[in-house]
Amino acid sequence: MAHKRASMADVARIAGVSAQTVSRVVNASPRVDPATRARVEEAMARSGYRIHRAARALRTGRSGTIGVVVSTLATVGNSLMLEAVTDAAAEREHDVAVVTLGSGDAAEALQRLNEQGVDGVVVINEASALVRSADLPTALRLVVVDSPPDDRFAGVETDHAGGAAGATAHLLALGHATVAHIAGPATSYAAAERERGWRDTLEAAGRPVGALVRGSWSSASGYEAAQTLIGDGAVGTALFVANDQMALGALRALAEHGARVPEDVSVVGFDDVDDAANYRPPLTTVRQHFDRLGAQAVAALLDEGDLGSTSATGATRAVMPAPLIVRDSTGPAPV
């Protein structure tokens, strides 16, 4: 014999609230206090109540799905950002439809998501450059992660320049005369901002700007970039690397050439991925709060509220701090 499907009335009875309160929880209304919401959600779980998303979409005008546009998932930063957005969407009872662009047509991808009826789209990192140059569906709400200000969409970003400045200042305070840099791709906004923070800090301190070689975010490219710096005699005694994966490759290259870290060369990364504390030596790095970035992007998309600041172009944006996490890969300059 088939079991009767739990109803809102069943949930209301178990939770000791009105059916209207259950309805508000189901429809993600902000007019429910957290304790009551938790009690209703517990009652849903106990009763086996399942939200009928198609019916909710008809009532609310929302599909319960957001789109995510990303250029590639091969980089750790993009994968972590996608995970953060997916987790934040799940907390808001939204599914995620992901489009990977590569070098594809951003306008076509956005139009496809728009036709699917998504409640909005989060654009991640390098994909923002493709979106900025595309014809955007006028009715589609966008939040872009790591992009220059644009009046057409809200923005969320890490303080890349500030984080890089903190990393560079840390190395200068340890007595290093200058800092070399393994930068990210020239097309990346985040890489450009990190490079700017590094360069501006050196110039403000009256120090010579160290050598720069670019990588592609992968550990292999960090290894090759460090090999180039070492071969040119340009690595010096301090190296700021634009992400932790490239820093891992740089550590390998330095070890192969007999350079001790940090006794001979101090190394700083960026991101603070989970493995950074287990590098050899544990990596000093700049922390990106991917969970906060994801939560802020989804909230900005679904709540349509003010992000907290307005750029010179009038676009609202949120900027997340990027603190330096000091570990064993940095030390005083050799004498």
For 219-264, the DSSP string reads HHHHHHHHHHHHHTT--TTEEEESSHHHHHHHHHHHHHTT--TTTT
Domain boundaries, the chain: 8-51, 65-159+291-320, 161-288
Closest CA to 181 of 190, 194, 169, 193: 194
Fold classification of 161-288 (topology level): Rossmann fold (3.40.50)
Antiparallel, parallel or unpaired: β 266-271 and 309-310: unpaired
Question: CA 32 to CA 90: how far, in whole Å?
Answer: 19
pTM of the model: 0.78
Q: What pLDDT digit, counting tens, does each position of 280-310 carry?
A: 999 999 999 999 999 999 998 887 544 444 4
Q: In CATH terms, are 65-159+291-320 and 161-288 the same topology?
A: yes
214-227 pLDDT tens trace? 999 999 999 999 99
State yes or no: pLDDT of 198 exceeds 60. yes
The amino acid at 244: D
How far from the centroid of its chain's Cα atoms is residue 72's Cα?
Answer: 13
CB 256 within 8 A of CB 283: no
Question: Over the stretch 246-266, which tens digit does the pLDDT of each residue have?
Answer: 999 999 999 999 999 999 999
Indicate the CATH number for domain 65-159+291-320.
3.40.50.2300
Pick the CATH number of 8-51 from 1.10.260.40, 3.20.19.10, 2.60.40.10, 3.40.50.300: 1.10.260.40
Q: What is the pLDDT of residue 305?
A: 46
User: What does DSSP say about strands 316-320 and 309-310: parallel, antiparallel, or unpaired?
Assistant: antiparallel
3-state secondary structure of 298: helix
Nearest CA to 91 out of 41, 54, 50, 146 is that of 41
**Is pLDDT at 150 greater than 70 in this prediction?**
yes
